[in-house]
Every structure is written in C-alpha cells, then in structure tokens.
C-alpha cells in the first residue's frame, strides 16, 4: 500500500484530524522558507537584527526596510494546490482545523474556515503606544508615503505588523486553541514544518501523548520522524493531491470541487 493510501485510511478512521502547517506548504506559491541554504529567508540576514521585537523598538527604519520588502514579495502570492487540498478535506468533513505557523494569509485566501494563526498575520499592524490597528492596505499606503519608509500611526509612532517576532510570546488565545485541538486529535497532519520552532513544535507531541497519531509531510528531516505513522517526503502539492485521490475526492468518480477551488 502506498503512503498516500495509508494516510487516506488514517484520515478516514481518525475521529478528529487537525493539520499543522509550516513554511514548506507555501514554497510552491513562490514564498521561500526560512532555513534552506541560499534561498531561505534567514540565509543572508540575521533574524535577530531585523525580526526581533528589540530590533523594531531600536531601529524601526531598518526593521521596515526588511519587512517592507517582504510585504511586497507576498502581495501577489496565491494559494497553491496544498492549501486547496486542505480546504477540500475540511469541506468534506475530514479535517477539523488548520493550525499554521505561517503569516502569509494563504490558508484564509484558499478558503480554510477553521484557521488558527499561532504566529499572527500580516493582514494588519498595530501601534504599540496607543493600540490603534490598521489593515494591510492602509499599512502599505503609510509605508509608501512616509519619507523614512516607516508606516506610522495617527499618533506618530511606528506601527508593528501583528506577527510574532523573536522575543515575543505567542497570542495566548490562539495557542490555547491550538493545544486544545492537538489534544483532541486522533491524527495530526504535520505539513511543511521542520518541527523545530517551539512551542508550536510541541503540538504533535501533545497529540501523541493523548493517544493520537502523527503523519509528517515535509521534505526535510524532523525530530518526530521515527514516531510518525506515515512519513511522506515528496512535493507537498503532489502528496496531498494523491491523498485526495485515495479518498475519492479527486478523479473521474469524485464529486466536483466546491466553488472557488
């Protein structure tokens, strides 16, 4: 039996299926991951100098010179087949929720309904002084119009993207929801994540301790590989589409995909 077939059977038999996604699921959309040699986001820059909360407070100009470019790179990116496959699983009643470490909004744009963004989102930014929040289009306009290249609040202070920077805690409500989902999952699909960044990397362990199983779909090694019920190392889009085929959600006898897919 192929790995895709084995994973399909696990999905069918699990009482609750939850997906945990990392940067690798967005690579087919043209978004680099963080640590791949030569191409990763941190390959040519020290994240402590541009993506730490202290760096934002100390030098917002340098911080936004980095994040401004990242915003531009993400502007035209679209969900790929892996994002859409998870939407199909959710709409078929085979996936309860997606927990994502990504901030790129692609799961939401693909149509995922039950989404937990444990590292925040670039969809908005906030002023740390007065608390006002601005939507992404407004942030981009303020970034473009500021002579120093720093989007500023109406009060004059720099705004910070509502993403979790190094040195910051995860949003308490989002992480509590992620832990609740992990503990109740009969199967957790770990997709495109190295499972190295804590505390999120501890969520699969929560599933295992509670008696659930873990399937890992990512090209690089992870610390939980020996404990995975299914381990798939190919292209994440191809792997998930093969699983959909095994579930009867793709192919000549499958029902038509929902609108928007």
Catalytic positions, written as ranges: 119
Measured CA distances, 81 to 64, 205, 229, 259, 261 (Å): 31, 27, 23, 15, 9
Enter the tokens of residue 136. Answer: 């992404």
CA dist 72 and 66 (Å) reads 10
The C-alpha angle with vertex 3 and arms to 93 and 189, in degrees rounded to 5, equals 45
Question: Cα torsion at 78, 82, 88, 92 (round to 10°)?
Answer: -150
Whether omega before 199 lies within 30 degrees of 0, making that bond cis, reads: yes
Tokens of 259: 């609108």
Task: Quote the CA–CA distance of 219 and 238 in Å, as a whole number.
Answer: 12
Candidates 119, 86, 83, 107; CA nearest to 18 is 86
């Amino acid at each position: 039996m192929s790995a895709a077939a084995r994973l399909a059977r696990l999905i069918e038999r699990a009482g609750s299926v939850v997906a945990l996604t990392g940067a690798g699921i967005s690579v087919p959309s043209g978004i680099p991951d963080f640590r791949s040699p030569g191409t990763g986001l941190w390959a040519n820059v020290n994240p402590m100098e541009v993506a730490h909360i202290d760096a934002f407070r100390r030098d917002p100009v340098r911080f936004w010179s980095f994040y401004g470019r990242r915003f531009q790179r993400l502007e035209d990116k679209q969900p790929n087949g892996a994002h859409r496959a998870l939407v199909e699983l959710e709409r078929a009643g085979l996936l309860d929720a997606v927990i994502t470490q990504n901030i790129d909004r692609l799961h939401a744009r693909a149509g995922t309904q039950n989404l937990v963004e444990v590292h925040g989102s670039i969809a908005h930014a906030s002023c740390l002084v007065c608390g006002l929040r601005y939507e992404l289009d407004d942030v981009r306009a303020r970034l473009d119009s500021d002579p120093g290249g720093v989007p500023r609040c109406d009060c004059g202070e720099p705004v910070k993207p509502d993403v979790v920077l190094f040195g910051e805690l995860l949003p308490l409500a989002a992480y509590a929801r992620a832990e609740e989902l992990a503990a109740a999952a009969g199967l957790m699909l770990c997709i495109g994540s190295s499972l190295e960044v804590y505390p999120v990397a501890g969520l699969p362990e929560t599933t295992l301790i509670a008696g659930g199983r873990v399937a890992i779909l990512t090209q690089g090694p992870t610390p939980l590989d020996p404990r995975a019920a299914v381990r798939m190392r190919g292209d994440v889009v191809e792997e998930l589409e093969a699983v959909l085929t095994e579930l009867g959600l793709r192919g000549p006898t499958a029902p038509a995909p929902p609108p928007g897919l």
